[in-house]
Amino acid sequence: MEEGKILVTGGAGYIGSHAVRQLVKSGFQVVVVDNLSTGHLDAVDPKAEFVYGDVRNLGLLDAIFTKNKIVGVMQFAGKIIVPESVSHPLSYFDDNFSGVLAILRAMRAHDCKNIVFSSTAAVYGSSKEPAITEDAPLHPESPYGFSKLAAEHLICDCEKAYGIKHCIFRYFNVAGASEDSSIGEAHPVETHLIPVTVNASESGKQMQIFGNDYATRDGTNLRDYIHVLDLADAHVLGMKMLLNGGNSAIINLGSETGYTNKEIVETVGEVTGKKVNYVFGPRRAGDADSIVASNKKAMEILGWKPTRDLKQMITDDVNWRKKHPELYGNPNNKFSKVQLQHVDKVNETRNHSSLYEELENIDRIKAHKIKVANDL
Ligand code: UDP
């Protein structure tokens, strides 16, 4: 396996921080870059090096790649809330597409050939299939889904043009926290069903199940949930596969099992021992009846399948919230626990975008000369 470090963008976020931890456990040296816009410094494994900054900053990326031998990138940095993307499409394309564009430019300039990319089931839109396979039609229904699909296309184009290999993961629903309850899901406003329900169960406050007239076994939406640690394990396997010379792949990460929203609410009540106070509310815009992933390809290519069940996800989320009633607490926390890398060589006055464009143009001229020579 090629020796060097793994750069994790968005490694202070919910899924990124669990992936960093599993990478470190597997013996990888990890550098995290995160602008802490939604991530938390305390979520970053203390054994990882931390660079505070934005993944769209080409100068910063240049400095990170110059200072470290990066052999692979895991790209988590980005935004994930569908309704927010509808009201802020520019911001979603900037974060989710421009971020990937910048990373790929840096990878190309520094000859880094492996990227594991965090994509989404939202690229499929509503599907009639009982279990969605990777070759299902792609019909994103939100700027979020489109921004991820656009990034996927760019990543695939960069394989053809520059030989940068990829493992693109399309996630379904994710929940849970680390086994020791030290890291978990922490958003300023929780919108996802499991944390919303856990909070409602603990506080006794009423929550809503959005819609009960869908075409499912009890009328509420049906979704496919996997544990965040299973998801993180898949990322480590994906990176190892690429570093060991494996081919690029696009892979669903799901369980092939669906739970309805009502079943989720009831299971949370069983786990906490506190009945959840809920009502059925109106449908939420954009919700498909039922979304379940086929995970055959993940098994075939990575030997991966989920190992932690729904009760485990809920139990881990409950324990994480009990242990951290304030989640990560004060966002203005200190840079103490993690090894902060000072990337002091960043020359902000240099226009890195045009630098990269020059590089790419030089190649075009070279390619043209070769073609002309071959045609002689
Ligand atoms: N949901 C709900 N009440 C809530 C939050 C979510 O009924 O307070 C439903 C939502 O309409 C969807 C399912 O739970 O049917 C999963 O939504 P979530 O936002 O967790 O994930 P998504 O599937 O949208 O990525």
* Res 176: pLDDT: 98
* Res 154: pLDDT: 98
pLDDT band at 83 (very low <50, low <70, confident <90, very high): confident
* Res 82: pLDDT: 83
pLDDT band at 272 (very low <50, low <70, confident <90, very high): very high
> 173 CB under 6 A from ligand 1?
yes
Can you tell me whether residue 72 is helix, strand or coil? Answer: strand
When comparing pLDDT for 156 and 367, which is higher?
Answer: 156
- Of the given ranges (188-197, 266-275, 343-352), which has the lowest mean pLDDT? 343-352
Instruction: Report the pLDDT averaged over residues 99-107.
Output: 96
Query: Could you give the number of structural domains in the chain?
Result: 1
pLDDT in tens, 313-355: 999 999 999 999 888 875 555 554 566 666 654 544 444 555 5
* Res 366: pLDDT: 59
The amino acid sitting at 72 is: G
Instruction: Report the pLDDT averaged over residues 173-195.
Output: 93
pLDDT > 90? residue 101: yes
Q: Which helix (H) or strand (E) holds 326?
A: none
- Choose which residue among 231, 260, 266, 284 to substitute to test ligand 1 binding: the one with the highest number of ligand atoms within 8 A of its C-beta: 284
pLDDT > 90? residue 373: no
Q: What distance in angstroms lies between residue 167's CA and the mean position of ligand 1's atoms? A: 27
- Give phi and psi for 318, each to the nearest 5: -60, -50
Q: What is d(CA 294, CA 257) in angstroms, rounded to the nearest whole number? A: 9
pLDDT > 50? residue 224: yes
144 catalytic, yes or no? yes
* Res 141: pLDDT: 85
> 290 CB under 6 A from ligand 1?
no
Could you tell me if residue 376 is inside a domain? Answer: no
- Give phi and psi for 169, each to the nearest 5: -105, 125
Could you tell me if residue 239 is inside a domain? Answer: yes
Could you tell me if residue 231 is inside a domain? Answer: yes
How many CB atoms are located within 10 Å of the residue 183 CB?
23
pLDDT > 70? residue 376: no
We report the CATH number of the domain holding residue 114 as 3.40.50.720
pLDDT > 90? residue 13: yes
Which residue segment(s) compose the domain that 119 sits in? 5-345
* Res 51: pLDDT: 94
Q: What distance in angstroms lies between residue 221's CA and the mean position of ligand 1's atoms? A: 8
pLDDT > 70? residue 91: yes
pLDDT in tens, 277-303: 999 999 987 788 888 999 999 999 999
Residue of 144, 214, 278, 356 marked catalytic? 144
Q: What distance in angstroms lies between residue 193's CA and the mean position of ligand 1's atoms? A: 5
* Res 288: pLDDT: 81
User: How many separate helices (H) and strands (E) can be counted in the chain?
Assistant: 12, 15
> 295 CB under 6 A from ligand 1?
no
Could you tell me if residue 144 is inside a domain? Answer: yes
DSSP class of 131 = S
Count the residues in the chain.
376
DSSP string of 100-126, one letter each residue: HHHHHHHHHHTT--EEEEEEEGGGT-S
Could you tell me if residue 149 is inside a domain? Answer: yes
User: CA angle, 280 as apex, 278 and 282 as ends, to 5°?
Assistant: 135
> 280 CB under 6 A from ligand 1?
no
> 23 CB under 6 A from ligand 1?
no
Strands (E), the chain: 5-9, 29-34, 49-52, 70-75, 114-120, 165-171, 173-175, 207-210, 222-223, 225-227, 249-253, 259-260, 278-281, 290-291, 339-340
Could you tell me if residue 369 is inside a domain? Answer: no
What is the pairing mode between strands 49-52 and 339-340? parallel
pLDDT band at 105 (very low <50, low <70, confident <90, very high): very high
CA distances from 39 to 34, 108, 198, 206, 228 (A): 7, 27, 21, 28, 16
* Res 347: pLDDT: 47
Q: What distance in angstroms lies between residue 81's CA and the mean position of ligand 1's atoms? A: 11
Within 13 Å, how many C-alpha atoms sit on residue 166's CB side? 24
Counting residues of the chain whose pLDDT is more than 70, the rounded percentage is 87
Could you tell me if residue 25 is inside a domain? Answer: yes
Q: What is d(CA 142, CA 313) in angstroms, rounded to the nearest whole number? A: 27
pLDDT in tens, 32-51: 999 998 899 999 999 999 99
The amino acid sitting at 361 is: N
- Of the given ranges (16-20, 73-77, 121-125, 213-217), which has the lowest mean pLDDT? 121-125
> 262 CB under 6 A from ligand 1?
no
> 187 CB under 6 A from ligand 1?
no
Q: What distance in angstroms lies between residue 23's CA and the mean position of ligand 1's atoms? A: 30
Could you tell me if residue 232 is inside a domain? Answer: yes
In ligand 1, which atom is closest to the CA atom of 291? 23
Question: What value does the mean pLDDT of the chain take?
Answer: 90
Q: Which helix (H) or strand (E) holds 128?
A: none
In ligand 1, which atom is closest to the CA atom of 196? 8
Q: What is d(CA 166, CA 103) in angstroms, rounded to the nearest whole number? A: 13
Counting residues of the chain whose pLDDT is more than 90, the rounded percentage is 76
